[in-house]
Amino acid sequence: MKNDRKKELIRSAKFLLFSVSAGLIELAAFSLLNELTSWSYWPCYLIALVLSVLWNFTLNRRFTFQSAGNVPVAMAKVFAFYCVFTPLSTIGGNFLAEDLGWNEYLVTAINMVVNFALEFLYQRFFVFRDSIDSNAAAQKKKEQEQA
C-alpha cells in the first residue's frame, strides 16, 4: 500500500514536470505568435495548445504512465478530451482577452492550470487506466524489484 502511494506520488511529479515543459513550449509558441503576428488571441492560443499537447502526450505516455497500450486508441481518447476542452478554453479565453480586455498571458496561464489538473485526472483514470506500467521499461523495473 505504501509502495503504491509512493509510485503515484512519483507519477504525479513526473506529470507535473512534463506539463511544465509542455507549458514552456505553449508559452513560447504563444508569445512568438502573439508578438510577431497581428492575429487575435484564439489562433495564437490554438496553435500553441496543439504543440504542447503533442509534446505532453508523448512524454507522459512513455515516462509517466509507462503505457504499452494502443497509441491510436490513447491518442483518440486524448483527442476526445481536447474536443471539449479546446473550444471551451479557446472561446472562453478569447472572450476574456478580447471582450473583457484581460491580459492575454494571464488568460493563457489560467487555461494552462485548468488544463493541467483536468488532463492529469483524465489520462490517469481514463486514457491509461488499464495500461499503466505495461511498457518494457516498467516490466524490466518490476522484474528487478522482484529479484
pLDDT digits (tens, 9 = 90+) for 74-112: 999 999 999 999 999 999 999 999 999 999 999 989 998
pLDDT for the residue 130: 94
Is it the case that residue 146 has pLDDT exceeding 90? no
pLDDT digits (tens, 9 = 90+) for 131-145: 999 999 999 988 888
Report the chain's mean pLDDT, rounded to a whole number: 93
Mean pLDDT of 56-84: 95
37 by Cβ neighbours in 10 Å (0-12 / 13-18 / 19+) ranks as exposed
Q: Residue 23: enclosing H or E segment and its boundaries?
A: helix 2-36
Please say if the pLDDT value at position 1 is more than 70: no
- Please enumerate in sequence order all residues whose Cβ is within 8 A of that of 40, keeping only pairs 6 or more positions apart, or say none: 94, 98
**Chain centroid, CA 66 distance in Å:** 15
Query: What is the residue type of 143?
Result: E
Q: What is the mean pLDDT of residues 57-64?
A: 95
Q: Which three cell numbers stand for residue 125?
A: 483514470
**What is the spatial distance between Cα 12 and Cα 97, in angstroms, rounded to a whole number?**
31
